[in-house]
Amino acid sequence: MSKRVLTTESGAPVADNQNSATAGVGGPLLLQDQHLLEKLARFNRERIPERVVHARGSGAYGYFEVTDDVTAYTSADFLNTVGKRTETFLRFSTVADSLGGADAVRDPRGFALKFYTEDGNYDLVGNNTPVFFIKDPLKFPDFIHSQKRDPFTGKQEPDNVWDFWAHAPEATHQVTWLMGDRGIPASYRHMNGYGSHTYQWTNEAGEAFFVKYHFKTNQGVRSLSSEQGAELAGKDANSHQTDLVQAIERGVNPSWTLHVQIMPAADAANYRFNPFDLTKVWPHSDYPLQRVGRLVLDRNPDNVFAEVEQAAFSPNNFVPGIGPSPDKMLQGRLFAYADAQRYRLGVNHTLLPVNAPKATKADNYGRDGLMAANAYGRDRKNYEPNSYDGPAETGQPLSAPLSVVGHTGTHEAPLHTKDDDFFQAGELYRLMSAEEQARLVANIAGGLSQVSRDDVIEKNLAHFHAADTEYGKRVEEAVRALRED
């Protein structure tokens, strides 16, 4: 067997990969050493810009298998037959910290799933919580600025975190989730995933339904206390990455059961909560979970940097039978996610193997740009319509149209009968056991007591009082005790 030859990127053989070219023995380096310059220049560019949020992530390939008939609700091809399997890629992540952060921290977890369907890629971008901190995308940059490292101190500041929440009463529900027992998952395998947003399904007859996705872990939910998380983060900052890789390598393939809540479109206008408000859930007593299928992860990526870090997700990657809802946060993300990937990876990021369709082929008139891989020319026209048998539109919308009425303007979302910023946070608190409530109160007080301004503390305490009288009183007493120490 002949020995493989090391080459430069242009294919020329490398004579010496141990010694740089110099002007004589011991002399200065030479600018003409093409191999050295190419190697150093490429090394400087090995890492792409990290994601502003969800920077630290892990991922794996797998499949989704349909177990229950949902064709009455959606015409999506990958969901049309019980037993049908679709290849997937799932990326987990923490949200606030940078790429060098630890896994076992108190933070929401991203749960971004790519289905490689026969009708193109379908991206479902969610978290391990069913709700979020805000309900309007206009507030998103400010929210993230408050949670990320402060530009002066270079670290996350309790003053910034809690000051934003003081001015965002709708965050009380998600804060209660985050500071509760599920705020630090024991591993990525031991947490649920949620689509979080409301989406639309459309069946073959054109009937529309609004849906919420729930991926329930089959490993059981396991979480860490604040003390356990701090200890694990100190011992192994890569704890969740290590756990995921090792589990799959030894054949212990993690899995989740997908359920959906289904709301007939006609119910939305008069539902007691705004069904498109990302800070609220649909109680299961109103819309029970209906099983759809199971998600299994069974293959680790070969290269974390090429696949996990370059994996690009966008919630506007829909397929026939699935579409958006009037959820304002979702509507903002339909633009923002794809734009973030064009910035980080370039306009041709969809050509990368992890992002390219696998069960079909993309065929459009996108051309050129940085890192263009398709050398279209000659008789391949770059405009449409044309007379040369190029790809043409189908005339078939992916989903049912959304009704639009009224005048343009910067409107607040319409209020439904039980809409406020605190009711569901109080419901969540009252669902907790006494032990869970005690840990929740301690976690909130531990952060809120570090805030330097009394008025910011008082505004946050008012939110917890509004959610539940006992909840607010216990947090207030715990904060006071810590500040008096």
Side-chain half-sphere exposure of 215, counting CA atoms within 13 A: 29
Q: How does strand 290-299 pair with strand 208-217?
A: unpaired
Query: Could you say which DSSP state residue 185 is in?
Result: B
Residue 372 tokens read as 């263009």
Q: Is the dihedral of CA 336, 338, 344, 346 positive or negative?
A: negative
Q: Within 67-221, where are the H helices?
A: 140-147, 158-166, 172-179
Q: Is the dihedral of CA 336, 341, 343, 349 positive or negative?
A: negative
Of the listed 127, 274, 317, 348, which one is catalytic? 127
CB 104 within 8 A of CB 232: yes
Helix, strand, coil distribution of the chain in percent, nearest 5: 35, 15, 50
Tell me, yes or no, if 54 is annotated catalytic.
yes
CB 202 within 8 A of CB 321: yes
Residue 132 tokens read as 């979020």
Which residue in 482, 477, 476, 447 sits closest to 463, CA to CA?
476
| DSSP calls for 342-396 | HHHH-TTGGGSTTTS-SSS---S----STT------TT--SSSS-SS--------
Which residue in 47, 146, 58, 61 sits closest to 96, CA to CA?
146
Q: Which residues contact 438 (CB under 8 A, 6 or more apart)?
A: none
DSSP helix/strand/coil, 212: strand
Of the listed 54, 214, 259, 463, which one is catalytic? 54
Q: Within 155-256, where are the H helices?
A: 158-166, 172-179, 226-235, 239-249
Tell me, yes or no, if 127 is annotated catalytic.
yes
* 274: region left, alpha or beta (phi > 0 left; psi from -120 to 50 alpha): beta
Distance (Å, whole) CA 107 – CA 274:
26
Q: For the chain, give the number of residues.
A: 485
Annotated catalytic sites, by residue?
54, 127
